[in-house]
Amino acid sequence: MTTAARWARAEWGRLYDTVRAGLAERRAGAVAVTLCAVCLTGVLHVVQQWPWGMRGVRDLGAVRAEDPLWLALLRTPLSLFVPAPDLPVWGALVQVLLVFGIAEICLGRWRTLAVAYAATLAGTLYARVGIALGPGHPLGLPASDARVVDTGPSAAVVGLAVVVALRYGARVTAGAVALAMVAEVLVKENLAGREHLAAIAAVLVLYALCGARRRHAPCGARQRPRSSGAGSGLPPSQSSSARRGRAQRRSWR
């Protein structure tokens, strides 16, 4: 095995094994929420290409800093799936399919949605704070950004990518995603780049809090019941079959 292959295995091995086992065991059911998210994103993109649809999508899922906070909070869940109308939709669909899909297998459906929502909400709230601080502040934003629509699914994608990478030991990948977002802000100063950084900061705080909670939990609470396939690298059904086979072979001797 070459040095590059060993590095790739060390960086992505756990993640790859988890995704492969999840897909082998449950197939499309393992990414059911992701498939729904991809379909919803595609439908919203098609609808907003029409004059009548554009207004409807904006009224239900477009979040701007100039909107009342209560209205922005109501629109934020749907805004996760509203792609930017001036950007290629295929890029957004591929990002949602890959990152949401991996996260759904590795984190579970509800945790994936919670992280995605937290990342998007962080970007939305940061825009309001940045505009209040003004362009003279290092974290401030110009007043014109109050009329800019938020990032859509991209903040959620970035937040999920960082959390999954950290959770499965791919720290170089997590760092690369963060550095890419910093480079985006340095090269192209815009609201979306700042919101991506706010999303990363928010999920890092959540990840640290969850890690601290696990470390301080009672020993009994940390020991979760292990599935029949845990530690074997096989889905539960195959792992249990393998153990039965070994037990039978021993009984025949």
**pLDDT score, position 183:** 94
pLDDT at residue number 238: 47
Distance from C-alpha of 57 to C-alpha of 59, rounded to nearest angstrom: 5
CA torsion through residues 62, 40, 87, 136, sign: positive
Residue 233: name the closest of 10, 8, 24 by CA: 24
Structure-token match 């890959």, residue found: 98
Quote the pLDDT of residue 217: 65
| Contacting residues for 90 by C-beta, under 8 A, at least 6 apart | none
Predicted TM-score (pTM) of the model is 0.82
Whether pLDDT at 171 is above 90: yes
- pLDDT class of 136 with cuts at 50, 70, 90: confident
- On the CB side of 201, CA atoms within 13 Å amount to 12
Nearest to 105 by CA among 174, 35, 173: 35
Mean pLDDT along residues 199-215: 88
Lowest mean pLDDT among 52-61, 156-165, 223-232: 223-232
Write the pLDDT tens digit of every residue in 91-135: 889 999 999 999 999 999 999 999 999 999 999 999 999 999 998
User: Which letter does DSSP use for residue 225 in this model?
Assistant: P
